With several copies, the nearest count.
Chain A
Amino acid sequence: MSKVSQALVTSDRIDSAKYQALVADAGAGAIVTFSGDVRNHDQGKPVTSLEYEAHPDAQQILRKVAEEVADQYEIFQVALAHRIGLIPLGETAFLVCVSAAHRQDAFAACQQIVDEVKIQIPIWKHQIFADGTDQWVNFA
């Protein structure tokens, strides 16, 4: 059975408690959660708003990356989500929850999933700054 209980690309608000509950397992001693939130600044410039755009294959790639990393660790379950569309400052853009019997596995798997998703997922981030300029992140 897949260790990835949920892998979602969604324009809805991401509720971390829901994902933590998805990976909770009465046998799990450790749950590690990463939440990537929309920041109010980037490289010193105040950000006004932020929009993510996804390729149609993004959700499938999100699941694939999570499954590949999950297979390398002694973990129970992974649940993860990436939000797209306009995201208000301070809200969650990307969430990864990992449960395991032991904390070292949960920490390592969670961090590696975050790292790999950032490299592999075909999603783009458009920032509008307070001074009216805008930017496609990683592009300019």
Chain B
Amino acid sequence: MVTVRFFAAAKAATKTNEVKISANTVEQVLALTIEKFPDLAAVLPKCSYLLNGIACSDLSTKLSPEDLLDILPPFAGG
């Protein structure tokens, strides 16, 4: 199971910090989370992703069960 963590507006849309999802690619994870949390559909297009702490822009990237995928809305620090 891949661990998916939600932050800020993504967390507000899912009302959860984290879920475990069975999926083989980032794309599959995103599709399954939208299915589970329909409000996320409006948020995801603006998000970037961290896979095990490293920026991941290729959504076809293959996942292993112990992977950690973070869903990051646009930053607004500083």
Contacts and interface: CB of A to CB of B under 8 A. Distances in A.
Interface stretch (B4-12, B25-33, B58-66): B4-12
Contacts of A123: 75-78
Nearest to B73: A139
Contacts of A126: 8
Size band of the interface chain A makes with B: 20 to 34
A136 B8 contact: yes
Nearest to B9: A136
A110 to B, nearest CB: 13
Interface of B: 7-9, 11-12, 43, 46, 50, 53, 70, 72-78
Interface of A: 36, 52-55, 57-58, 82, 93-94, 114, 117-126, 136-139
